[in-house]
Amino acid sequence: MLFLASQSPRRSELLRQIGVDFETLDVSVPEQKLPGEPPEDYVRRVAREKAGAGLLAVAGVPGAIVLGADTEVVLDDEVFGKPADAADAAAMLGRLAGRVHRVLSAVAVVSAGREWQVLSESQVLVMPLDQAAIAAYVSSGEWQGKAGGYAIQGLAAAFVPRIEGSYSGVMGLPLHETARLLGAAGLPVSPAFRKL
């Protein structure tokens, strides 16, 4: 049985997209970068900690497998995280505007005896934005709970002329990589991934 250690509606939607049966878990893991911790190590650690916390919650379920994920926006090696408020979201968008940034999405799949992990990296170009455009976007409220202060699957799609990498990874769960991990864990996914 697969458990998703996340209450994110978009992660659930993405996981359903590849035809996997699962239940969600509500886990609480601190998402704070350690001093000197590289962004790649940070997202891997948080994904692994979420999966581990989920596995502890379902320790009594035979054959339980737990998926944890973390997605972060990174500009010049600075992890942006989720904005604290509207002003913080506007500041993030102002810094991303006219630049290419990285989106790191780590996935960890754990069972009682094994662990699988992958990191997806995408490059996202945000068009130049003036203060009026940023204010209009922030007033939509779509930035809430979103790394970097935007949701690629929503209104912010109009700000992004180019993505190199995984679109679903920018949304929060890279499906190609996730399907490979689940296949390695022996879960029923697309036949192409069952023996990888």
Instruction: Give tens-digit pLDDT for 55-68.
Output: 999 999 999 999 99
Which of 91-105, 139-153, 178-192 is the least confident region? 178-192
Q: In the prediction, which pLDDT does 87 show?
A: 97
Structural fold of domain 2-193: Maf protein (3.90.950)
Q: Which residues does the annotation mark as catalytic?
A: 70
Q: In the prediction, which pLDDT does 192 show?
A: 56
Through-space distance between the first and last CA atoms of the chain, rounded to whole angstroms: 19
| Alpha carbon 27 to its chain's center | 15
Q: Which of 83, 69, 62 is nearest to 25 (CA)?
A: 69
Averaged pLDDT, 119-146: 96
Instruction: Give tens-digit pLDDT for 140-180.
Output: 999 999 999 999 999 999 999 999 999 999 999 999 999 99
Q: Which of 117, 104, 102 is nearest to 68 (CA)?
A: 117
